[in-house]
């Protein structure tokens, strides 16, 4: 058992990558007739719409070839379960990519988090946020 754990611990170093930088798959989206990728945008709630608008402006300034398709993911009840509205679900399945703004998580029993509903619907169980420290700025963690 120890040798198995040891091999697993050493493996990322041998590959020269960390889990955060390992490729997870190839994007299968196609550009539309205007030469842009269509991306589903879930603006979120609270500060989400403001952040999403900023992201749209940043992408536009960087001339990233995307067209946003904003969808509402206000949950609906179907057969006693909280589900994502069909319009949003179909958009994400069609574009094969989505950018989600912050969504509030309800506090208390009997409420299912929309974040959890999205993760369960699309089998998303990792939240990887690769980042690098800015040289000269002290932070709690380096890279």
**Per-residue pLDDT at 83 exceeds 80:** yes
Stretch 94-114: mean pLDDT:
83
Read off the pTM: 0.69
For residue 117, which of 96, 127, 107, 103 has the smallest C-alpha distance? Answer: 103
Q: Residue 39 and residue 29: Cα distance in Å, rounded?
A: 9
**Per-residue pLDDT at 19 exceeds 80:** no
For residue 88, which of 75, 104, 72 has the smallest C-alpha distance? Answer: 72
For residue 95, which of 36, 19, 40, 15 has the smallest C-alpha distance? Answer: 40
Element (H, E) at 106: none
pLDDT value for 126: 74
**Per-residue pLDDT at 12 exceeds 70:** no
Kindly list the strands in the beta sheet with 37-42, ordered across the sheet, starting from the edge strand earlier in the chain.
Answer: 66-70, 37-42, 98-100
Stretch 18-42: mean pLDDT:
78
Element (H, E) at 97: none
Q: Please say whether the beta carbons of 83 and 117 come within 8 A.
A: yes
């Amino acid at each position: 058992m120890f040798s198995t754990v040891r091999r697993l611990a050493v493996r990322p170093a041998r590959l020269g990558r960390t889990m955060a930088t390992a490729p997870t798959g190839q994007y299968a989206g196609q550009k539309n007739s205007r030469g842009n990728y269509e991306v589903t945008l879930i603006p979120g709630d609270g500060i989400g719409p403001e952040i999403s608008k900023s992201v749209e402006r940043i992408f536009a300034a960087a001339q990233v070839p995307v067209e946003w398709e904003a969808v509402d993911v206000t949950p609906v009840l179907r057969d006693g379960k909280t589900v994502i509205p069909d319009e949003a679900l179909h958009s994400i399945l069609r574009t094969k990519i989505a950018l989600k703004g912050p969504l509030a998580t309800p506090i208390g029993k009997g409420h299912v988090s929309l974040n959890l509903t999205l993760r369960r619907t699309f089998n998303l169980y990792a939240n990887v946020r690769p980042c690098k420290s800015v040289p000269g700025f002290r932070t709690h963690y380096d890279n």
